[in-house]
Amino acid sequence: MNIIFDQLNPHACKTYLFRMEGAKEAIIVDPLLDHLKSYDELLKKDNLHLTHILETHTHADHISGAAALKDITDAELIMHSSAPAKCPSTRVKHGDVLHINGIPIEIIETPGHTKDSVSYLIPGKILTGDALFLDDGGAGRDDLPGGDPGAHWESLQKFLHLPEDIIVYPAHDYRNREPSSLKRQKMTNPHLKPRTKSQFINYLTDLKLGPADWMKDVLKANYNCARDPQAAWIPVDSPACEIKGTMGKGVNDQLFSTIDPLTLKKRMDSNEKLVLLDVREPVELKTELKHIDGVENIPIVKLISNVDALDKHKQDDIVIICRSGGRASTAAQILKQVGFKNPIVLEGGMIAWRSIFGYK
């Protein structure tokens, strides 16, 4: 069986397009919303008819393009039976075998990273989603909503019983690793190291994972089948879904200080040299929570492109403020990464500030 198989994206998030040789009916796996135009152009250029969209799981690091691609192609969207999204056309479960455009596709339930994770086994290949990455990448993190290290261990046992010559194609790769055989993965991937279930849970618990508040917003957008690329803020930094045990220091690994509202107020009243930076959208500074007098406002979505405006404060204490602390934490990590000496997050954000000092 000769299958034409392509990876479409040039970066960490992987999208696969495959079809029978000589056929015009195609299947896409894990499309990204911000690549929607390029997918559409490719299909038209090659005169392909997209019949099916497969999602390996509900994504936490990017807005899925599945719902929007379904809208413009009328393709059938397939997800696991427990997927929270309302937009799938067909829901599948473990052991189902789909015959699509002459290609057999076996469904393997592989929860752990999410409850709705599935892997797709096609002749010679397995598309593992975030259940298994390549080599030292391990697999997707299990500390997001629905994550379960114990379930992930059980999923890995299913991989161990598959033919060793199949090639592993994950949903992400952050370090230009090349797809390789399951046999190689058994030798190089730390997730496939022989461990008992309790040992595997301890192994994941001991890994230091970075903050994931923004990823919860992405999950919600994908639960709602978002068609808007701005439905959730996503940092430019990268290895969001991958476990952190073997990675170099990136934005998500940067440490920062925090300050409670009472301590901040005392320091402000003592006229200490502090820079107050509010990273909410400008309209939020005018809503009920308002803002602290004297803040500079750079929305988190514009922080990277406007970081030069803060250069004069590189050695100063910068107190970063948002609604509840999530965006401020990401902003602090970004500033730390680019060399700011002491970004400090206001614990609990403006919600905590107003709960103590009211709305005067």
**Segment 190-212, tens digit of pLDDT:** 899 999 999 999 888 766 565 56
d(CA 69, CA 85): 15
d(CA 61, CA 138): 17
pLDDT in tens, 91-138: 999 999 999 999 999 999 999 999 999 999 999 999 999 999 999 889
Owner of token pair 């639960």: 223
Taking CA 56 as the corner, what is the angle to CA 50 and CA 60, rounded to the nearest 5 degrees? 115
d(CA 123, CA 20): 11
Other Cβ atoms closer than 10 A to 358: 7
Query: What are the φ/ψ torsions at residue 252 (nearest 5 degrees)?
Result: -70, -15
Mean pLDDT estimate for the chain: 89
Contact predicate 119/78, CB 8 Å: no
d(CA 346, CA 339): 20
pLDDT in tens, 309-328: 999 999 999 999 998 887 88
The predicted model scores a pTM of: 0.70
